[in-house]
Structure 1
Amino acid sequence: MKSILYGFVCALIVALPSQGHALSFPLPKAGNDIVGELRQMQTRYEDTFSDIARANGLGYTEMSESNPQVDPWLPGEGTSITLPTRFILPPGPREGIVINLAELRLYYYPPGENRVVTYPLGIGREGWSTPTGIARITGKRTQPSWYPPESIRQEYAAKGEPLPKVIKAGPDNPLGNHAIYLSLQGYLIHGTNKPYGVGMRVSHGCIRLYPEDIATLFDQVSTHTPVRIINEPYKAGWQDGRLYVEAHPPLSEQRAEKGINFTPMVRAIIQALGESDQKPDWDAMKQAAMGQRGIPVPVTTAPLLRQPATTTPASGLVLSDSEKR
């Protein structure tokens, strides 16, 4: 009997779909833009940021940004670190897939489910930048073969590491076990045989996810799903009547071209403020921009709560507490 039960449990485990460590949140109520909460944890001696990131649905760079005073490879026993699991949703429509390159993060809005699922990702390194733009999913494939473009084959040949014209599925295939093809010719969302590169700029332009995350996303999305790729280091959004900013370091190409430039952050804040009469705290904005920790911080004061009105039995008039004085 025990052996039958054991066999049943094993079969059930094999049959279950692979579940990654993606972060899933209900969409915020109308007028709000923030999901998740910051978390804290104590490290063990053997922990590294790469290990902690993968176990918590984060990427290496996110961990480094939020914990700038901690050694990412040897944080030490009992070190308190922040898990940056609170996010301002990207600007624009909340539909399909939205990829924010500066944030190294993908957001997926499952149709009809009123929630968002978000994954860390790896993108193209400098010189092989992942492009921005509007695309859609054109196909999906498990155990994909990789056909290295001639430019990549030349790069590897120059290093004395020639590549074949095709790399079949297997442990040496950089696409991993799942590939999602985009209408942007030559660009894919795929897994990887080097998961430590997720959350960093390491690819030749494609978008990499942890193997367990791409397996989950692969099963969720369908062809023709819209994909919007943006590059927004500064996001602004509301929560309960208060405006927040989330700042990430701009990509190296932007820094080389424009230097330290806070205009995009100011633009994001002004756009988010709209017709609101709240005044931003410019010192808080400056600190957020300089820190670039990837954590939403408030840049307006908390809204004043109105005192509840009281009805006097004698006259039926509605008076606030201040008026009664």
Structure 2
Amino acid sequence: MISTARRYPLTRVKQLWLGSITLGAWLLASSAAASGSDSPRGHYPLPENGNMVGEVSTVAATEEDTLMDIARAHNVGYEEIRMANPDVSLWVPGEGTEVTIPGQFILPDEERTGIVINVAELRLYYYPDVKAGETPRVETYPIGIGRDAFNTPLGITKTTMRLENPAWYPPESIRREATERGDPAPAVVPPGAENPLGRFTMLLDIPGYMIHSTNQPDGVGMRASRGCIRMYPEDIESVFWRVPVGTQVNIIDAPIKLGWGANDESFVQAFTSTDEKAYGMETLLNVVGLIEQYEGGNPRSVDYEQVREVLDQSNGQIVPLS
């Protein structure tokens, strides 16, 4: 069963509101190191002196592209690409339109072991075991999670089984809803193109929950499932055989992240928490207080209005603080 125990071994962390604030140093690595150009999709060497991997980039859309096509090709999900390009058409970006790829990530302030899933961020982080002499790394992938009334549960659990080409047994609630719509669901959906679990599934030690592929990849990066965690088919295929049974899975809701740059710069990043409550004055004051606290104890002027604006927008963009 899922455990509600939480561990924060990397840095001191305060719980704020119903989420957590991730604190850490900001690593401004060189473009080659940050982009992981010599690594497979989503793979990055762990930073030695910080918690930042990847980089923001831009691409030019072709006539045939949708924004979701571009997102999938560059390892980001629906909400990530939409929030990074609010003025770009989702379905017809247009030939030559510049599209921002939000490919820079602050690692969750959790133990760097197994799988860490930040539901607020709609993103999964995997820290594979490495052999002696190998560079420790992290792999990160966009995910889909549970929609309203079907929130993905939080806490520490583990993987219990891997299934290739699984059959899907619709739960009673889905079958009942389908019957009420006049479109009865089958008792079992065999492997194939109509199976919503796709080709690969990793069961979790929470009855009824799993990390799986999908036959509807456009839903990756959305809150659209009944609680399970969806990945692009190519992403879960790339990790499926490398995630041992029994791997720890830590599911968190960390909607606010803070970081510091190499030149004593401060940054803030905010997402919408899964309970979608607005950030109040208490949260604002706590965020500002933590920025000041982690400036080496030195007094620092913080623009309250700027921090408030970032929290109000909650669009996942990494913003430098004046």
Give the shorter-chain TM-score range.
0.7 to 0.9
Displacement, 1:166? 1.6
Q: Alpha carbon RMSD of aligned pairs, Å?
A: 2.2
Distance 1:296 1:178 in 2: 33
Which stretch of the first structure deviates more once superposed, 271-280 or 132-141? 271-280
2:241 aligns to what SS in structure 1? helix
Taking structure 1 as reference, are residues 293 and 147 closer, same or farther at Cα in structure 2, changes over 3 Å only? same
1:222 aligns to what SS in structure 2? coil
2:254 aligns to what SS in structure 1? coil
TM-score by length of 2: 0.79
Q: Is the 8 A contact 1:33 1:239 kept in 2?
A: no
Which stretch of the first structure deviates more once superposed, 241-250 or 138-147? 241-250
**Pairs aligned (count):** 276
Q: Deviations over 1:181-226 (max 9, x none)?
A: 1011110000011111111111111100011111111122101110
Q: List runs of 5+ in structure 1 lacking aligned partners.
A: 1-19, 302-325
Distance 2:244 2:40 in 1: 21
Distance 2:127 2:115 in 1: 7
Match of 1:92 among 99, 103, 110: 110
Q: Does 2:122 correspond to 1:104?
A: yes
Distance 2:278 2:294 in 1: 28
Distance 1:119 1:275 in 2: 31
Displacement, 1:54? 0.5
Match of 1:23 among 42, 54, 57: 42
2:152 aligns to what SS in structure 1? coil
Q: Does 2:300 correspond to 1:282?
A: no
Distance 2:42 2:79 in 1: 17
Displacement, 1:228? 0.6
Taking structure 1 as reference, are residues 101 and 268 closer, same or farther at Cα in structure 2, changes over 3 Å only? farther
Q: Is the 8 A contact 1:34 1:239 kept in 2?
A: no
Match of 1:234 among 245, 256, 277: 256
- The equivalences for 1:1-325 within 5 A come to 22-30=41-49, 32-112=50-130, 113-240=135-262, 241-251=264-274, 254-255=275-276, 258-261=277-280, 263-264=282-283, 267=286, 270=289, 273-274=293-294, 276-277=296-297, 279=300, 280-299=302-321
Displacement, 1:298? 2.1
**Identical pairs, percent:** 44
Distance 1:205 1:148 in 2: 13
Distance 1:245 1:60 in 2: 22
Distance 2:55 2:88 in 1: 21
2:173 aligns to what SS in structure 1? helix
Larger Rg: 1
More helix per residue: 1 or 2? Answer: 1
